[in-house]
Amino acid sequence: MTDDIRYLDIYELCVATPDSHAERLYEETKKLLEDHCTSIKKVNNRLENLFIEFFLFSIQEIADSDQDMLGVYVKYWTEYSMGARYLNLLYGYRLDV
């Protein structure tokens, strides 16, 4: 019932006379979504840079190490997969519909 009331409120704003608020409502919603997408893109870029640094460091360690490549790969894969599991536990609820 409350969702119906919210839609009705928005409708009332859009058809208000003598001045409709439809254009302002649209522009504010558009700005909110653009700002949100911009902030997500910034976070994604930072994460991407961190992953690149991590993997470059891993490759350099393999090159500089006397360890076998598979052992170093397993070490980093274990760290990565554990981090991915923790992120899933923290934010997985957001994917539930």
* Whole-structure pTM value: 0.42
**Same domain? 51 vs 86:** no
- Detail the DSSP E strand segments found in the chain: none
* pLDDT score, position 97: 45
Q: Which domain holds residue 70?
A: 65-97
**Same domain? 69 vs 50:** no
Are residues 13 and 25 in contact, defined by beta-carbon separation less than 8 angstroms? yes
* pLDDT score, position 13: 76
* pLDDT score, position 93: 59
The rounded distance, in Å, linking the Cα atoms of 27 and 64 is 55
**Same domain? 57 vs 94:** no
**Same domain? 75 vs 54:** no
Q: Which residue positions in the chain have pLDDT lower than 70?
A: 1-5, 7, 62-67, 90-97
Tokens for 32, please give them.
Answer: 């909110």
- DSSP assignment of 44-57 equals HHHHHHHHHHHHHH
Place of tokens 């409350």: 2
**Same domain? 5 vs 25:** yes
**Same domain? 57 vs 10:** yes
* pLDDT score, position 91: 64
* pLDDT score, position 92: 65
Domain count for the chain: 2
